[in-house]
Amino acid sequence: MKLVIEKTTEEKKSPKKVPHAALPPLDLTQNALIVLKKRYLKKNEKGEPIETPEDLFWRVANHIAKADALYGASAEQVEETARKFYSLMALKDFMPNSPTLMNAGRRLGQLSACFVLPVEDSIDSIFEAIKHAAMIHKSGGGTGFSFSRIRPENDQVLSTRGVASGPVSFMTVFDTATETIKQGGTRRGANMGILRIDHPDIEKFVTCKEDNSKLTNFNISVAVTDSFMKAVENKDTFPLINPRTGDKVKEIDAAEFFDKIVYSAWKNGEPGIIFIDTINRHNPTPHVGEIESTNPCGEQPLLPFESCNLGSINLSNMVKDGQIDYYHLKDVVWEAVHFLDNVIDVNKYPLPEIEKNTLANRKIGLGVMGFADMLVKLGVPYNSEAGERIARGVMSFIQEESKQASAALAKERGNFPNYKGSKWDTPETPYMRNATTTTIAPTGTISIIAGCSSGIEPIFALCFVRRVLDGEELLEVHPYFEEYSRKKGFYSDELTRKIAKKGSIQDISGIPDEAKKIFVVAHDIDPEWHVRIQAAFQKYVDNAVSKTINFPNSATPEDVKRAYWLAYKLGCKGITVYRDGSREQQVLSVPQAQKYPQVEPRPRPQVTKGVTLRMNTGCGKLYVTINEDEYGICEVFAQMGKAGGCAYSQIEATGRLISLALRSGVRVDSIIKQLMGIRCPSPMWQNGDQIVSCSDAIAKALKIYTNSNVETRGSEMGACPDCGASVEYDGGCIVCRSCGFSRCA
């Protein structure tokens, strides 16, 4: 049964008047207001907000509460539920996932973040999946795929007597389609690509993202089996199986190949690993099907054509007088389960198959954010056994209470339709509304709105500089650190500026040892503790846990391997690692004290010789001149249209800076690598190659001239593409905490 809501356009329907006087007032940070205005508030044709944050929360609460009417609630009872839901969000105790905040009560109406689509071994299935993914991305969701059923590269194609191109080649088609779709105007597409460890193309898959310009809309993970891990442990061989025939293609040295996976992850953070047998041991509905894939950040394993809606409790709000307030936490858990179950009924699903399967299993994913802030309030170090105990205690409580809340809903509304034959079909659990109730998701943007730390990640920075629109730089200090340091008498503006430069307080004099233990940041924490905290939460989570295992730049592949084994032994369902500085462009870097000598560029000679190349761009024909002196290329300049325009001035500035770099001894390949892949809104094709901006055109002209083998730069950047601030690598996703930009759905 699903609630049918009258379809009226936002333009024709004025928003319902919010009863502000009877509801809790909002207390939002400046950052939260910026993110809400930029990404969540309803806007008019001019892009101007036409609702306030209060209006947004009431719009969401009122819409989600309407599901109660399906189960006999009166209009007054629905109104009361809406007030409770509003309070959950207004008090920042709980936030639903971004699609719910964006779309509830609006025409689009798609409220889920996570989807998994099947990909079978046929052209029809592959391109049907691409079409379905485009529809989901347009509606604001992210998609996960297992490509393990596709026959390997060079395998036989019976219909054409040709050879197959393999799963990796088809992934590029998915990636291109994703690039074309901008999700609902507010969220960009994201995918998870998974391949089983026993697929014949697994070696090509593991290295398919060594070039950061490839598959930029994909996270990739290897589905590792217990039998493979056993073969690694025993230093045995492992068979690769053709999925089309079921025949063994060859055997590989398991330990040697495991080292290749580890090395690739050490090198640039991908692939991740999911422990697929561990996931399926906890599959709540094995009679319905086997789980093959997860959503883009790995925290939500799903069956084909299944979706899940997520939400997170703000743990920093669950501390009262230095203790965890379990009475308040229980109330929030029960209301949040009610909220998320209602989402399933009022959701507008992008595909009928997804609606059918979602309603049949009614999976919800209640998680947490603000865990690091909770520990600070309790005076407990993140990297400690006490922190580990708190993680287990809090999550076991949420797990138990969410099951009790789901059972209570089932008594009133009925069990989920696939209950019979599920893991819940026992005398001890005669009622269960939802096949799963808990998930730990990355909470990049919703944690900004809630004003707390992200997910179960440690605090990333205690002090940092944020750029505002007029170019002014503001020094921001973590509120709990400022409160603590003022109380203890060691706060100063000079100290916070020093912390912002260093990124950590561990080596700064004048700070008490107690503060250094409590206020650890991500890079202060040994990777083992990252894994142990993830495992502590995973023990009491139905689905999976999104968490980044941070490594210093000095970490070795052997360090990464130890983390993988620890995650497997402790029962994690997957692991994502990130070694500081391992991408071509650092995602969020800590300043280094090292200094480099300044150089004086050699003078431009009186006479140069060179060529001019004509490049097609979205702005028109660009003529790039490359000149040499006796030492090599010494200058580049480009011309387009008439002098004096804005575009012309930018092109001239680019040429001057390139020329300056060349005469200062910078390698041409390094310049090409920096410029290639920079995008503008108007890409263009030339001789089968896409030119994505004028800067890209200049780089490709240099590449043609020098026969360079440099490839396009990846999209991972140290700066947010929207606002220019630094971005964080959070749970396998890139998030800007200044404006709310997120690479992942």
Task: State the burial class of residue 234 (Cβ atoms within 10 Å of its Cβ: 0-12, 13-18, 19+).
Answer: exposed
**Tokens for 199?**
């697929």
What are the φ and ψ backbone dihedral angles of 554, each rounded to 5 degrees? -75, -5
Instruction: Compute CA 96 distance to the chain's CA centroid, rounded to the nearest angstrom.
Output: 16
Whole-number Å distance between alpha carbons of 93 and 313: 6
How far is residue 694 from each of residues 103, 421, 623, 701, measured CA to CA in Å? 36, 60, 10, 10
Question: Identity (one letter) of the amino acid at 395?
Answer: M
> From CA 472, how far away is CA 457, in angstroms rounded?
29
Angle, alpha carbons 636-640-643 (nearest 5°):
100
What gap in Å lies between CA 583 and CA 730, rounded to an integer?
15
Residue 513 tokens read as 């040892």
Whole-number Å distance between alpha carbons of 218 and 193 = 6
Query: Residue 227 half-sphere exposure, CB side, CA atoms within 13 Å?
Result: 7
Residues annotated catalytic, as ranges: 295, 297, 299
Least Cα distance to 70 among 24, 163, 8, 1 occurs for 1
According to DSSP, the residues that pair with 691 across neighbouring strands are 684
Angle between helices 30-39 and 53-65 (to 10 degrees): 60
Residue 123 burial (CB count, 10 A)? 11
Which tokens hold the place of 522? 């991500």
Rg (CA), the chain: 27
Q: What residues does 464 pair with on adjacent strands?
A: 476
Query: Among 189, 191, 168, which Cα is nearest to 179's?
Result: 189
